Chains A and B, each alone.
Chain A
Amino acid sequence: MDVLKKVPVREQDAKVRATNFEEVCLGYNKEEAMEEAARCINCKNAQCVKGCPVSINIPGFIEKVKEGEIEEAYQIISESSALPAVCGRVCPQESQCEGKCIRGIKGEPISIGKLERFVADWASENGIKPQGAKEKKGKKVAVIGSGPAGLTCAGDLAKLGYDVTIFEALHEAGGVLVYGIPEFRLPKTKVVAKEIENVKSLGVKIETNVVVGKSVKIDELMEEEGFDAVFIGSGAGLPKFMGIPGEQANGVFSANEYLTRSNLMKAFDENSTTPIMRGKKVAVVGGGNVAMDAARTALRLGAEVHIVYRRSEEELPARVEEVHHAKEEGIIFDLLTNPVEILADEKGWVNGIKCIKMELGEPDASGRRRPVEVPGSEFIIEVDTVIMSLGTSPNPLISSTTEGLEVNKWKCIVADEEFGKTTKEGVYAGGDAVTGAATVILAMGAGRAGARGIDEYLSNK
């Protein structure tokens, strides 16, 4: 064994998986996990913990894996994370825990994400549940949204003994874990549903089909339904479009629509009653994780897929692993390319996307080199489907119906980082609703902060 290298993780073959929706990464078994765990040098001043938004005791749980005590490892992770099976799969470990790992200086860092995933899956298979509260506080908290921020906040508060109800707008709990991230990256029944069951086993109630702001307002929850505090984790659900000519043509979708149809509504399954456009040649505009998810979904539905991104490979905001997987599966990357118009036939159906070549100029406000158009370099890619994956912004349904809740110019709810405290008493917020579109783990970190804030508020009330 080479201690400088990660124990390789088994994956579905790229050619095979390009045609199915089964999970790409197969994960470690116990032997592999113990072997990988043995590479950890158990640093006293562990840098990996500092890289984790929810500060999991990483060396602590890895030590238990090394000893083969997986249940103990699980309870250590559970102290800090309500969704380890999810995080082990979708966290950008390379820029967080693994990015700080001392092993990574000379060789490859410890495969912390894969170890976390193994521990969580093992616990799920062996029926191990997180430990709930011993004493009840007798106070009610409403959590709005059942995505990563809401589930984490609800789980933490329930462990502290609060009576927590989550309100979810859609018909199924999970938020972006259910409607956004595809099955092949995050299995819904095997992983997401089980994590949600774990949160429920702590005593958390989930009421679906409640659009807060429409079905009920925050003030009503507090004044009429007796909730002592509220956490808003409603995410960033509004899709952006480019505003270029032809965007209203038939065959142009937001990534949100395309992914929601496939993931939440199961349209990838021929037996689903929800339709999805199965294009032959698809352009996905954008370079983030959502763009990769949309592209790889379209590929699995039988299309030739192009990622159209205006900067270069170096600037792709997607996780390295997602880009790598997408390439392996045969996604074509048209980089330094920006759409200027979507073309349609006489009946209004998309038949092409007109793009212009870009080159990188001086760095812009984000520190990345600004892409500039190359004059006269327009060209057409023939496609029948265009998926816009340009990011999302927070939904104003809650902020516009709640008096005293301040938002900034991007319509993000104003809340402090440490406790998620908003401008309205008793109301806390976190996740994409506050930051704009970010990652699952950052939302979880914010959910955790919100739970701390609410606990402090209600303890002193």
Chain B
Amino acid sequence: MYKILEAKELTSNIYLMVVEAKRVAKACYPGQFIIVRTDENSERIPLTICDYDREKGTVTIVFQIVGAGTQVMSELKAGDAFHDFVGPLGCPSEFIKEDVEELKKKNILFVAGGVGTAPVYPQVKWLHEQGIAADVIVGSKTKDLLILEKEMEAVAGNLYVTTDDGSYGRSGMVTQTITDLVNEGKKYDVCVAIGPMIMMKFVCKLTKELGIPTIVSLNPIMVDGTGMCGACRVTVGGEVKFACVDGPEFDGHLVNFDEAMQRQQIYKTAEGRAYLKAKEGDTHHGGCGNCGGDN
């Protein structure tokens, strides 16, 4: 069992938990992920690591309620425990292996969207600890859904917050802010974009035009997370890769996003049905228009 030391709702439907997981905390790096199971019958849910404390042996995860599994997870409190918590999985971010002096010469831009802010945070923090200040754009639908702003501010060089509806910070999509910054004369050698697939797709389209190499972190459907099932296969530069072992980070300019988005739909109907069952119990018998009822 993996004890939850802290649990809080960051904003509507987005939760943060600090979990005791000594092996993971000791071995993990920014960019990697874990798989969590709430109880002995739960599905395996992959989540990118948001933070870790090697001394305390803890790992921080942030998740959004998107289905039945995360709904049940969100109900856990400090003092409860996860049945399973395995990792670190996947490869660390590329820059972890790079020479720090070389890295210091680079202008790095992070682009975070929604709950994708959580996996961006440990990367910016790691760079900050090496004395590297990266620019960070955080995009959110609206002010109320913005997460980890203070934490990010503490480790970022410059933080640019933008909201789709203009309720806070700049107004518009993250791509607008990228364009603005470049027009203001900013030069970036590399961009790391993490967020919804559609956001990453459009960031990559833009950075390709701007000639900024871009890394994205993919979170496709997966089961085991160790290369065994192949559910997470993505096409990168015409080659089939497994996101769990070859990724989760890839060259965004080579990722086939349309195929990746299509593959995310595979279990949507089944997941929707399970989510409604978790929320409404066995009383749900269709009629919502989303789930196909009991058929």
Per-residue B-contact encoding for A259-276, CB less than 8 Å = 1, 0 else: 011000110000111111
Query: Would B27 and A397 count as touching, CB distance under 8 A?
Result: no
Residue numbers in B under 8 Å from A260 (CB-CB): 223-224, 228-229
Query: Would A211 and B223 count as touching, CB distance under 8 A?
Result: no
Provide the bound-state CA to CA distance between A250 and B265, in Å. 8
Query: Would B87 and A171 count as touching, CB distance under 8 A?
Result: no
Closest to A235 in B: B228
Can you show 29 pairs from A to B with CB atoms below 8 A apart?
Answer: A169-B86, A169-B224, A208-B84, A211-B86, A211-B89, A211-B226, A237-B224, A237-B227, A238-B228, A241-B233, A241-B240, A248-B233, A248-B240, A248-B259, A248-B263, A251-B266, A253-B231, A254-B229, A256-B230, A257-B230, A265-B44, A266-B41, A272-B41, A273-B68, A275-B271, A347-B262, A395-B228, A395-B245, A397-B245
Q: A211-B87, A214-B27 are in contact. List 11 more A-B contacts (CB 8 A).
A: A171-B37, A171-B83, A211-B86, A211-B89, A216-B23, A239-B228, A254-B231, A257-B223, A272-B41, A348-B262, A395-B226
A215 at the interface (CB under 8 A from B): yes
Which of B27, B83, B88 counts the most A-chain CB atoms under 10 A from its CB?
A: B27
Residue numbers in B under 8 Å from A215 (CB-CB): 23-24, 27, 86-88
Q: How far is the CB of A228 from chain B (nearest CB, A)?
A: 21
Using A215-B27, A215-B87, A241-B240 as known contacts, say yes or no to A265 and B227 having CB atoms under 8 A apart: no
A91 at the interface (CB under 8 A from B): no
Query: Would B87 and A214 count as touching, CB distance under 8 A?
Result: yes
A-contacting residues, B226-285, CB 8 Å:
226-231, 233, 235, 240, 245, 259, 262-263, 265-267, 270-271, 274
A-contacting residues, B17-60, CB 8 Å:
23-24, 27, 37, 41-44
Residue from B41, B226, B230 in contact with A169 in the complex, judged by beta carbons closer than 8 Å: B226
Closest to A275 in B: B270
Provide the bound-state CA to CA distance between A274 and B270, in Å. 9
Per-residue A-contact encoding for B47-86, CB less than 8 Å = 1, 0 else: 0000000000000000000001100000000000001111
Provide the bound-state CA to CA distance between A209 and B224, in Å. 11
Residue numbers in A under 8 Å from B69 (CB-CB): 273
Residue numbers in A under 8 Å from B227 (CB-CB): 237-238, 395, 397
Q: How far is the CB of A93 from chain B (nearest CB, A)?
A: 28
Residue from B43, B85, B88, B233 in contact with A274 in the complex, judged by beta carbons closer than 8 Å: B43
Residue numbers in A under 8 Å from B274 (CB-CB): 273, 275
A458 at the interface (CB under 8 A from B): no
Residue numbers in A under 8 Å from B262 (CB-CB): 250, 347-348
Provide the bound-state CA to CA distance between A72 and B42, in Å. 41
A170 at the interface (CB under 8 A from B): yes
Closest to A171 in B: B84
Q: How far is the CB of A221 from chain B (nearest CB, A)?
A: 11
Provide the bound-state CA to CA distance between A243 and B240, in Å. 9
Residue from A214, A248, A253, A257 in contact with B235 in the complex, judged by beta carbons closer than 8 Å: A248
DSSP majority for the A interface?
A: loop
Q: How far is the CB of B108 from chain A (nearest CB, A)?
A: 26
Which of B24, B228, B267 counts the most A-chain CB atoms under 10 A from its CB?
A: B228
Provide the bound-state CA to CA distance between A347 and B274, in Å. 23
Q: How far is the CB of A301 from chain B (nearest CB, A)?
A: 12
Residue numbers in A under 8 Å from B88 (CB-CB): 214-215
Q: How far is the CB of A40 from chain B (nearest CB, A)?
A: 41
Residue numbers in B under 8 Å from A256 (CB-CB): 228-230
Closest to A248 in B: B259
A320 at the interface (CB under 8 A from B): no
Closest to A266 in B: B41
Residue numbers in B under 8 Å from A275 (CB-CB): 267, 270-271, 274
Closest to A216 in B: B23
Query: Would A241 and B44 count as touching, CB distance under 8 A?
Result: no
DSSP majority for the B interface?
A: mixed
A46 at the interface (CB under 8 A from B): no
Closest to A395 in B: B227
Provide the bound-state CA to CA distance between A275 and B86, in Å. 21
Which of B226, B235, B267 counts the most A-chain CB atoms under 10 A from its CB?
A: B226
Provide the bound-state CA to CA distance between A277 and B263, in Å. 13
Closest to A215 in B: B23
A340 at the interface (CB under 8 A from B): no
Provide the bound-state CA to CA distance between A250 and B224, in Å. 19
A210 at the interface (CB under 8 A from B): yes
Residue numbers in B under 8 Å from A274 (CB-CB): 43-44, 223
Q: How far is the CB of A238 from chain B (nearest CB, A)?
A: 5
Provide the bound-state CA to CA distance between A50 and B41, in Å. 43
Residue numbers in A under 8 Å from B68 (CB-CB): 273
Q: How far is the CB of B262 from chain A (nearest CB, A)?
A: 4
Q: How far is the CB of A451 from chain B (nearest CB, A)?
A: 25
Residue numbers in A under 8 Å from B245 (CB-CB): 395, 397
Residue numbers in A under 8 Å from B263 (CB-CB): 248, 250, 348
Provide the bound-state CA to CA distance between A239 and B245, in Å. 13
Query: Would B86 and A209 count as touching, CB distance under 8 A?
Result: yes
Query: Would B230 and A277 count as touching, CB distance under 8 A?
Result: no
B-contacting residues, A187-219, CB 8 Å:
208-211, 214-216
Provide the bound-state CA to CA distance between A275 and B264, in Å. 13
Residue numbers in B under 8 Å from A179 (CB-CB): 224, 228
Q: How far is the CB of A431 from chain B (nearest CB, A)?
A: 15
Residue numbers in B under 8 Å from A254 (CB-CB): 229-231
Residue numbers in B under 8 Å from A247 (CB-CB): 240
Query: Would B84 and A209 count as touching, CB distance under 8 A?
Result: yes
Per-residue B-contact encoding for A339-356, CB less than 8 Å = 1, 0 else: 000000001100000000
Residue numbers in A under 8 Å from B223 (CB-CB): 257, 260-261, 265, 274
Q: How far is the CB of B97 from chain A (nearest CB, A)?
A: 14
Q: How far is the CB of B251 from chain A (nearest CB, A)?
A: 18
Residue from A241, A248, A265, A271 in contact with B43 in the complex, judged by beta carbons closer than 8 Å: A265
Provide the bound-state CA to CA distance between A352 and B235, in Å. 21
Which of A179, A238, A347 counts the most B-chain CB atoms under 10 A from its CB?
A: A238
Per-residue A-contact encoding for B121-157, CB less than 8 Å = 1, 0 else: 0000000000000000000000000000000000000
Closest A-B pairs by Cβ, 8 of them = A275-B270, A257-B229, A209-B86, A254-B230, A237-B228, A171-B84, A348-B262, A275-B267
